[in-house]
Each structure stands twice: as C-alpha cells, then as structure tokens.
Structure 1
Amino acid sequence: MANDKTTKSGVRVNPGDTETASAGSYPGYDTDLALAAEEHEQNMTFKEVLKADRRLIFYSLGFSGTIIMEGYGLALITYLFSFAMFNKKYGAYQSTKGEYEIEYLWKALLPLVAQFGSIVGILITAPLTKALGYKRTTQLMLFLSACFVFMPFFAPNIQILMAGFLLQGIPWGVFQVVSPAYASEIASLQLRPILTTWNNLCWVIGQLIASAVVKGFEGGSDEMSFRIPFALQWIFTAILMVYITFAPESPYWHLQKNRVPEARHAITKIVRKGAPDLAEQKLALMQHTMAQERKQDTAAEYGSGFQRFLGMFRGVDARRTEIACVAWLTQALCGASIIPWAPKLFESAGLPPSQALSVNIALPAAGIVGTVASWWLMRYMGRRQIYLWGLLVMSVFLVGCGCASFLPGKAAGWAAGGILTVYTAIYDLTIGPICYSIVSEIPSIRRRAATLSAARGTYLLAGLLNHFLTPKMVGMDDQSWKWGAKTGFLYAGLCIVGAVYTFWRIPETNNISARGLDILFQNGTSARHFSPEKAAALGASEAGRPALTQYGSLGSNPSVHEARAKSG
C-alpha cells in the first residue's frame, strides 16, 4: 500500500478506488473501507450492535420522546370529551340527556385545528432543518411548545382553548418529521427498524399516559382536574430539552454542508467510546452513500431552494416520495382514527362513560405490547410482508367490530371493546410501527426531511378528514350519523385497498443499506424484487467490480481485509 494517501479528513485513500464528490463537496474517501463497513453492518449480530451503538440508541430515544408529547397532547384533546368537568366548563347543557356536552362543531374543530397547526409545522420543517439541523430545530420547537401550553391551561373559554391547540400543533408537526428522520440517519442497519418504529411506541405511550391521567382526574370537582393534565406537558418539555442538549447533530447534515470534521466529531459521539476505527468506517460509508446519491439530479440539488424542493417530485425521487406518501396515507385510513374516539364508540355501543374510559385504557396498553412484539416479528418477516398481512388481518377485525353493533344492550359495547382492543394490538404490531420504518427508510438522504414532510402532510390531510367524519360516524347525538361500531365496515374496505397498493408498489427495505436503496431505486427495480443481494449485484456492476464476500468477492485488495479486521 505504498501508493496510499491520507486526506485532510484523516481517512486512508487508495488512489485506484477513491471517489471525490462533485460540486465542491467533502474530500475523497476510501471506497473499500466504506464497502467493508457496509458489509460488516449487514453481518453484525444484534448483540454486537447493542454493544457498539449504545450511545446511538440513547440519543435517538431523546428525539423520539417528542412523539410522546404529541401523542399525549392529541389524545388528551379527544379523551377530555368524556370528562364531566371539561364538558361543564366548555359545553352546553342538553336537557334531553340531562348533562353537559361539548357541541359537535367544537368536537370536530378542537382536534382539527391541532392538525392544521401540525401541517404548518410540517411545511416549515424542511427549511428549518436545512438551516439549523435536527438538534437546534427540536430545541427551538420544545421551547415554543412550553410557551404554547399556557393557552389551554388558562383558557377561560373554548375559543382560547382552540387557539392554544392550533399553536401547539406547530411544534408537534415538526416533531413528526424530525424524530424518524434523525433515527433513520444515525442508526446502524440492524437498529434502523427498531429506532424508527420506536416512534410509534412513543405515540402509544403518549396515548396511554393521557388515558391514565384522564381516568385519574375524572372524579375531580373543580377546573384544576382537567387543567393539570395540560400542565404535565411542561414536565415532558423540561426533561427532553436537557436530554437533547447532549445529543449530536446528524452526521449526514454536516456532510451535506461539506463539514467533514464536524461529521466525524458527531460520529465519535454515537459510536462505541474509544473506537476511532469504527468511527472512520461509518464516516466513509456515509460519504459513499452521499456520493451515490449525487450521481443523479445534480442540477436540482444545486439549484435554487424551489428547484431543490421540486426535486423530490422528479425522476427517481418521485417514486420514493409517492411510496412514502401513500404508505402514511394508508396508515391514516386503515381505521386507526377510531382509537382516539374509542370512549365515544363504546358509549354509542351501550357502555356508560365511566366504563368506556376504563375499557379505553386497554387500547394503548395493547398497542405497547404490539409495538414491542413488532421488533421480534421484523427479524423473521420483511417490512413489506408485515404491512401487507397487517392490512388484511385488520380488515377482518374491523368487519367483526361492525358486526358487534348488532348485539343487544351492553353486550354490543363489550364486544366492540374487546374486538377493538385486539385490532389495536394488531395495528401496533404491523401498520403502526412498520409505517414509520418504511417512510423513514424510503427517502434519499438529501431529500429526507422534504419527503417526510410531504408524506406526513398527506397523513395529516387524511387526518383532517378523519377528525371531521369520525365523530359523526361514532357519535349518537342528533347531529351524528349514529353508525357507532358499524364504522368498522368502512375502514375494512379501505384496508383492502391499502393491501393492493402495498403488494404492487411498496418495496422491501429489510437489511438494505441507504446506499443499497439508492442503487435499487436508481436502477428502477420492481418493488417485488428489492433485496440486499440485488443491491450488491447492481452496485458491483456500476463500479465494474465483483460484489462483497457476502454475495461474492472483492478479490484480494488488502485494504478491504484490513478494514474488516479493524471492524471485527
């Protein structure tokens, strides 16, 4: 290796195998080191990954914690509609029922405006993260979130309450994009599905906390019984602000700004302490991934801001944007919108409000069990298979939920509650967490924030429709359609439509690196033929060399064997 050189970044370079990114980007890097690092990630056992990436897991969980805040806040809005003191403060007396009730218009508007706020947050996420990075963007949104909580806490009327929910939705929208994007970018290949799906578990944890808090305060006799649940969000904010202060920025963000030393420093904070060789391997692999992406659509990448935005709807990235958007749209329309309204559905099926709230606690608990079990399931089934079969099984249970409505008296409520609990567990075993994994892995690195913003925006637009129609479907007052549990029939049909799309368009991403996904999309590979072997073969063909030893051989280049020895 007498002809080897060392770049300013400190990475040893083989002149015959060095790629230099275009348009004045980061210096050259050792492609053999990058390829060996990629192979090593694919071959690591889960125990080895946990040992090597403990710090990475710790930092990622901090960003994911913001989803707990969002899940808690959104669930709290609808759960309080079954809260007597909340209805007395902001509702009107209904002589026919002999109790206070929030009017249908406000039941629709309160969660609706929170979603509008989230859409605003999503629209500003891409420019914010491009300018500030994931870390500083999250810190800014946590500060604003703490400020906005004052409005619902002190709200003297329902109009101020609505304004508070609108403003709170803005940071929630940013969290929805930043958390899965950050997890996907810093995670190693074996941890990527767990850390991205962990976001769904955080959502469920937020719902569970909200349901438990509302149940705990439902017997209160003054206004503080429903204001204290709002105040608890200040505790979440304070803890997360401290947590994220110690986290590094995504190395990919530094690389996109040609800051190799800063990227290396960030990597040294997420890999095992005292492992400089491991950090150099991960840096080389990230640089190699960026170089692969820069082979396409260079003009759009370096054009104006609007041109860069349109880039996700052009060429190869258009397909990736479509898949991410429809995957999240499918999650929004598969019936999960019933879960936040479950107490009202149980009431419409025959249960009294107190019993409806008690049954409701079982739903997020089942969701937690389902999400944790999904980590085990993903080791044996790919994302694509889980998504497909999840939709098909959920459609069956939704039909069962609809059929339960024909039972007499309280039996209908208990049957619908039991079926919906199992449905929730299946949702959180399949569609709920796997969607986060799919939409986080599908976008290219350089357009990840923009693509996730578009995908989450699609989800929220469908969510607006759900928030407008779901109370009408499950409600039993004079302004509702009085479908009750029969709502399951509609969402069962939508699950079937989603399953058909999944079969034809959503590819398998299991054990395929970010660079491998770039190669497969750039070569127009069919969704049904995505695999690590296919990516390796196409990548080797592009480079004019054999594939790695897992799928072939790189020959006798000593730099590869040296890199493997260091990484092993």
Structure 2
Amino acid sequence: MSFWDAVKADRRLIMYTIGFSGTIIMEGYGLATMGNLLGIYNFKKMFGNPVVGPEAFKVPPHLQTLFGLMPQFGALLGIALTPLITDKLGYKKTVLLMVLLSAALATITFVATNVPVLLTGYFLQGIPWGLFQVVSPTYASEIASIQLRPILTTWNNLCWVIGQFLAAAVIVGFFDNMTDMSFRIPFAVQWIFAFVLLVVIFFAPESPYWYLKKNRIPEARKAITKLVRKGNAGLAEEKLALMRHTLEQESKQDDGDTVKGIRKYTGLVNNRVDARRTEIACVTWAIQALCGSSLLGWTIIFLNSTGMARDLLFKVNLAGPTAGLFGTIASWWLMQYVGRRAIYLWGCIAMCALLVGCGFSSFEEDKNKRGLIAGAILAAITLVYDLTLGPICYSIVSEVPSVRRRAATVSAARGMYLVVNLSNYWLTPLMANYPDNGGWGWGPKAGFYHAGWCILGAIYTYFRIPETNNLSARGMDILFQNKTSARKFSPQKAAELESSQAVTSAFRRTSSGDTGDKAVARVVEKP
C-alpha cells in the first residue's frame, strides 16, 4: 500500500491515535505555561520578591528551578508506575483515569495563593503527565501500520508543540490583564482539554497486543476489527496472526538468552537483546534532552537577558512554537524520503551549528538587535529541532523495543530523559538570569554548552542507533537477535536473516527424521 492508500484505509485508526496523543497537548500546555507565566506581572507579584527597578517583582532563579523540577519529579513517579498500571488496566482505562486525575489536580494550581501550594500542584500534576509521555507513543506504535507508524508516533511531538503554542497564545491574551485571572485562567484551560480527551478516548479500542499478552484472543480480534478497514474480516485475521506470531517468537527468545546475573523481569530487560534495545531507547531520548531543547522552554527569560524591549518579548516568543508546528509537519514529508537514523544524525549536526551561532549572538552590543538575533536563532533552532530530533525521537524510541516490553522500555527511556532534564531545569535558569538575580548571566552563550552535547549525540547516533524505517516488529526482532550492526539495519537484511534461519530450522528437522523436502515445505508455507 502507498502512504495515501494507508491513510484512506486506516482513518479510524488515525482518529483513535490522535485521541491518545492529545494527552501530550495537555502536558505540553501545562509545562509551557509555567515558563511563560514568569513574565506575567501578577504572577511575579504573587509568587516572587519585590526588587528595585522597572519590573518591581521578580521570581528568583531557585524558585524558577523548582517550578520546572516539581512536575518532573512527579512525572518520574508516574513513569515508574506506568508499566504496573497499564499491565493491570490496559492503556485505555489507564489514560481515562489519568485524564480525570489531571483535571482534578489542575484545581490546586488554579486556587494557589502561595509557593508551597503551587509547587504541590505542579508535582501532583506531573504524575499523570509522566504516564501520558509513555502510553501515547506506545499505543501509536502498537496499533499503527508500517506506513503510518512514523507519522502517528511523531505526531506526539506536534502535540507537544501545539500545547506550547496554545500556552504562548493564552499568555499573550492575558498579558495586559492586571488581576489574578491573568495567571489563573491559563491553569483553568486544562479542564477544557480534559473534557475533549475523555470523549475521544472513550470510543477508542484497547491495544490488541495488550489483550494478546493476557491471552484474551476474542477481545484482541474485536479490537483489531475496530482498527482495520470496515468489513475487512480477512485483514483483521491476518493482523491477529502476525501479532500472535511476533509475541510467540519474542517469548522463545526470552527463554533462550537470559543475561547471566540478571533474574528474569517481565517488565524490562530479560536478555542481551533487550539490554541493547533499552540502551538505544534511553540514550536516544537523553540526546533529545541535551541538544539545546531546554533553551526553548525558557525563551522569555533568555530574550529578557539580552535586554529586548518588553513589548517585543512575548510577540517574539510566539515565533518558536509557530516554527515548531511547521517543522514537525515537514518532518512527515522528510521521513518519506530519508530514514530516521539519517535525520537524527544530521539533526544533531545542524543543532550544533545553530547553537554555536546563538552563542556568538551575545557579542552584539545593541540590546534590541541582540535580542532579535537571538530570538531569530532560537526560532531556527525550534524549526530544526521539530524537523529532526524532536519528532524522530518518538518514532525511534517507540519502534526499537520488543512488543512484550515496549511499555516498560519506553518508560525507562522517558525516565532517562527526565533524569537528564533535571540538570537542564537546574542549569538553564542560572544560565539565563542576570547575576543580580542569582544567575550566571550567560544568556545566549548557553548555546556553546549544548553544542558540545550535540557533537557527542551525533557520534552515538552514527555507531549505535539503527534504521527502523519500513521494519515490522518481527523484522526488528530478527535484526536485534542476530546482533546486526546499527549501520546495516534494513528490511532486506531482516528478510535474508529470516530466510537463513528457516533453512537452518528445516535441516534440524531433517536430522530428527523428516525428509528435507517436507521440512522445507513446512517452513516456507508457514506465514
């Protein structure tokens, strides 16, 4: 099938995946709102300290750091709980429960009048947000066809960008409001997200893989029938057979290759193959966290550190999410012609070049010009990031794990991202703020720091991250089980290895009494 044939055939599948991915819009909006509110006068008056100067109030860097860290701590807890909760309840029930919880917890931030209550609300909201980060790409990867899988997994990044854009737009809308509603209504918008998501996800089916892992074949068949083209019972049976075959082969691999010294753990790493896959997923997401993306969430603070006029500050801030929208959509077109691995590699290189340019912009003497240059480069960084590392990371991380341990592996990878990102939430406010506000005064010079990480990321990508384009879950299993080099991953290589394994299996049966022709025939005919 061509890409457009797949779109026409899988319209319902696309709709259900978009519903699950909508939870990332809620998360992206919530996290971006925190950074944007630091420029709102009444927010600074309520939660900051009085200072001498035109701003009158400022939120000190240590509180800026806490505002960023608390939801990350909550997300780590949510990520740790994800494999346990989804294993018991499934993806659908888990997400519905967490959407309700997130809406209820938004009430805490809405009514907060002091820093402890606000931090408590941020921490608790981070718990469902962490779960959304894992379930959304996992669900998309499990139900999508090969043609749509890169689009539906990277759609999660676009949802993140949409959330950031909406946060920036809402803040601009209430920028001139001189009451507490200027920062309380942005929190309340999350209730609207929750209502829409509950309606959409309610009608979505559970992942068939989850039913199969529970040996609930009839429910799996019913879920698959709801996902494929209406009335195509044959296609539903084919999908069911392939899913069952993939799980059976992964189960056999688990039984035959247990890592010495590591007890069997059904959630994450059971053998050397899973260890490699988990490593790739974790480092891939760590690269995304260290490539300079953390600067984008603090654009207002960075532009403020350049001395840009306040009336331009929030308008220029809208350029970043806008560039991100175009970048993510363009990545869908790019992935039709270029593999994930190549995009990730060149994304690291391009980000490095732009971050170096961001660093050099700090040497411009004119304040407004310096701010505009830095803002333009940050917008370009957003465009490149959302064209390459931002969306492609979701695709790689959700495709690399085995089916049996996908939720646990994605949880571990996202946990690694958040742990690495903790350093960003501590360092970024210090880099962005002036020394008189407790910062280091680096401003755009922080680009030099992240450029170094991009170089290391490019080296790792070249040697360790495989190409996952056009590979089925079974093809991925074959390549990893045969310890194929990351630079040699392809559907053709998987087919060669599977063919050689089939012949070897046939000869083994011959030695135990079968005639060669009959044994080979049975292997070849097996779907």
For the aligned pair, the TM-score class normalised by the smaller chain equals over 0.9
Matched-pair contact (CA < 8 Å) for 1:394–1:423: yes
Match of 1:433 in 2: 391
Shift of 1:99: 1.1
Match of 1:566 in 2: none
Correspondence list, 1:281-296, <5 A = 281-296=238-253
| Aligned sequence identity (%) | 57
CA distance in 2, matches of 1:431, 1:313: 29
Match of 2:432 in 1: 474
Match of 1:21 in 2: none
Does residue 535 (structure 1) correspond to residue 494 (structure 2)? The answer is yes
Per-residue CA shift, 1:314-365, capped at 9, x if unaligned?
3110000000000000000000000010111111112123311110101011
CA distance in 1, matches of 2:227, 2:120: 40
Shift of 1:306: 7.8
CA distance in 2, matches of 1:307, 1:559: 30
Which of 444, 468, 473 pairs up with 1:514? 473
Match of 1:249 in 2: 206
Match of 1:424 in 2: 382
Correspondence list, 1:8-87, <5 A = 44-87=1-44
Correspondence list, 1:364-383, <5 A = 364-383=321-340
Structure 1 unaligned blocks of 5 or more: 1-43, 547-555, 564-568
Matched-pair contact (CA < 8 Å) for 2:254–2:270: no
Match of 2:508 in 1: none
Shift of 1:558: 13
Which of 414, 420, 423 pairs up with 2:372? 414
Match of 2:511 in 1: none
CA distance in 1, matches of 2:319, 2:246: 43
Match of 2:514 in 1: none
Shift of 1:440: 0.3
CA distance in 2, matches of 1:111, 1:357: 20
More displaced 10-residue stretch of structure 1: 332-341 or 100-109: 100-109
CA distance in 2, matches of 1:557, 1:291: 21
CA distance in 1, matches of 2:55, 2:483: 63
Shift of 1:447: 0.5
Match of 1:485 in 2: 444
Shift of 1:559: 13
CA RMSD of aligned residues (A): 2.1
CA distance in 2, matches of 1:97, 1:476: 15
Which of 276, 279, 286 pairs up with 1:322? 279
Shift of 1:426: 0.5
Matched-pair contact (CA < 8 Å) for 1:121–1:174: yes
Matched-pair contact (CA < 8 Å) for 2:502–2:524: no
State the one-letter code of the partner of 1:172: W
Shift of 1:48: 1.5
State the one-letter code of the partner of 2:227: I
Give the structure-2-normalised TM-score: 0.93
Correspondence list, 1:48-197, <5 A = 48-197=5-154
CA distance in 2, matches of 1:299, 1:230: 51
State the one-letter code of the partner of 1:432: G
Match of 1:225 in 2: 182
Length, aligned pairs only: 508
CA distance in 1, matches of 2:102, 2:263: 29
Partner SS state of residue 253, structure 2: coil
Shift of 1:313: 6.1
Does residue 445 (structure 1) correspond to residue 421 (structure 2)? The answer is no
Correspondence list, 1:272-311, <5 A = 272-298=229-255, 307-309=264-266, 311=268
Matched-pair contact (CA < 8 Å) for 2:257–2:271: no
Shift of 1:311: 4.7
Per-residue CA shift, 1:181-221, capped at 9, x if unaligned?
00000000010000000000000000000000001101001
Matched-pair contact (CA < 8 Å) for 1:118–1:173: yes
CA distance in 2, matches of 1:352, 1:182: 45
Partner SS state of residue 440, structure 2: coil
Matched-pair contact (CA < 8 Å) for 1:121–1:171: yes
Per-residue CA shift, 1:506-551, capped at 9, x if unaligned?
00000010000000000000000000000011112222299xxxxx
Matched-pair contact (CA < 8 Å) for 1:395–1:496: yes
State the one-letter code of the partner of 1:517: M
Match of 2:165 in 1: 208
Partner SS state of residue 308, structure 1: coil
Per-residue CA shift, 1:462-492, capped at 9, x if unaligned?
1111001000001124210000000001111
Match of 2:193 in 1: 236
Per-residue CA shift, 1:354-380, capped at 9, x if unaligned?
311110101011001000000110011
Structure 2 unaligned blocks of 5 or more: 506-519
